[in-house]
């Protein structure tokens, strides 16, 4: 059988990136993440599209969504070249969900649910490696040496959009735009909701079981 096609939904800080790494290791799928793809192209010139801002980074640092025409093109290209995948960070609104229908079929759709207070703690405390992108947390997941990545020795930094003001805005944008996407998928057979507020290992156990029963 071909590799699984997994959609991972959830609010900012739910653990999508963290658990996507586990899925990549366990199932050999590709990690398709619009957040990382856009972070690598924050300064891309999109001024010819006649939108509010001239680069993706100007939307991201405010916690706003990058316009659909930019994001849809990134996802379509990535999915075309992937066999199995875990899709993380897309779709974030109903238009993107409809666009995704025309690109591929999904084997399992997982929604990670986490309370708002926990999300704010996780995001404002998150630190990321400026070289390899590995995630840490000042309290829940500390590196061996403060400020230094265990994997590659790179410097740990705080993402611009993990400042509290941008975090609050991201959560509002999620409630308005992305919660309807979860409702859109929630009555499908492939849909599974997982309590993302459990320990990292318990979330992973539930997620692994959900994917295994779908394939
Ligand atoms: P993106 O990078 O996708 O950010 P996000 O969805 O806000 O997700 P995060 O990466 O912040 O959180 P996560 O769920 O991956 O959590 P993580 O595993 O890191 O998008 C950034 C921006 O890009 C958007 O705001 C937007 O501007 C733009 N964008 C992206 N996609 C777009 C789209 N489709 N359309 C338009 N614009 C788009 O975990 C967070 C922290 O919690 C970590 O420190 C981790 O160690 C900790 N943690 C995780 N799980 C647990 C646990 N179980 N217990 C304790 N701690 C935990």
Element housing 181 (H / E): helix 179-185
**Which residue's C-alpha comes closest to atom 17 of ligand 1?**
15
Domain 5-29+82-214: CATH architecture, name and number where available = 3-Layer(aba) Sandwich (3.40)
Quick check: is 165 catalytic?
Answer: no
What DSSP letter does each residue of 38-49 carry, written as one string? HHTTTT---GGG
**HSE-CB for 143 with a 13 A CA cutoff:** 21
Three-state DSSP state, 19: helix
Cβ neighbours of 157 (radius 10 Å) = 12
DSSP β-ladder status, 126-129 and 30-33: unpaired
Helices 16-27, 200-214: inter-axial angle, 10-degree rounding = 50
Q: Is the CB of 166 under 6 A from ligand 1?
A: no
**Catalytic one of 5, 122, 127, 170:** 170
Task: Pick the closest to residue 135 from 116, 119, 157, 113 (CA basis).
Answer: 157
pLDDT digit string (tens) for the chain, length 215 residues = 579 999 999 999 999 998 999 999 999 999 999 998 998 899 999 999 999 999 999 999 999 999 999 999 999 989 988 889 999 999 999 999 999 999 999 999 999 999 999 999 999 999 999 999 888 999 988 999 999 999 999 999 999 999 999 999 999 999 999 999 999 999 999 999 999 999 999 999 999 999 999 98
Chain centroid to CA 118: how far? Answer: 17
Q: What is the pTM of this model?
A: 0.92
């Amino acid at each position: 059988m071909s590799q699984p096609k997994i959609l991972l939904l959830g609010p900012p800080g739910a653990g999508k990136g963290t658990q996507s790494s586990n899925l990549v290791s366990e199932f050999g799928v590709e990690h398709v993440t619009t957040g990382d793809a856009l972070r690598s192209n924050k300064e891309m010139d999109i001024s010819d599209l006649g939108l509010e801002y001239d680069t993706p980074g100007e939307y991201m640092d405010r916690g706003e969504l990058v316009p659909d025409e930019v994001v849809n093109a990134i996802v379509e290209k990535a999915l075309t070249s992937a066999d199995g995948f875990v899709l993380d960070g897309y779709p974030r609104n109903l238009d993107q969900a409809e666009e995704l229908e025309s690109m591929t079929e999904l084997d399992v759709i997982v929604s990670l649910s986490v309370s708002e207070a926990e999300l704010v703690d996780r995001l404002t405390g998150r630190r990321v490696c400026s070289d390899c992108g590995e995630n840490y947390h000042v309290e829940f997941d500390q590196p061996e040496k403060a400020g230094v990545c265990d994997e590659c020795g790179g410097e740990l930094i705080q993402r611009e959009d993990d400042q509290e003001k941008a975090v609050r805005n991201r959560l509002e944008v999620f409630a308005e735009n992305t919660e309807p996407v979860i409702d859109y998928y929630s009555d499908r057979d492939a849909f599974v909701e997982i309590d993302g507020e459990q320990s990292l290992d318990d979330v992973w156990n539930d997620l692994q079981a959900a994917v295994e029963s779908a394939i």
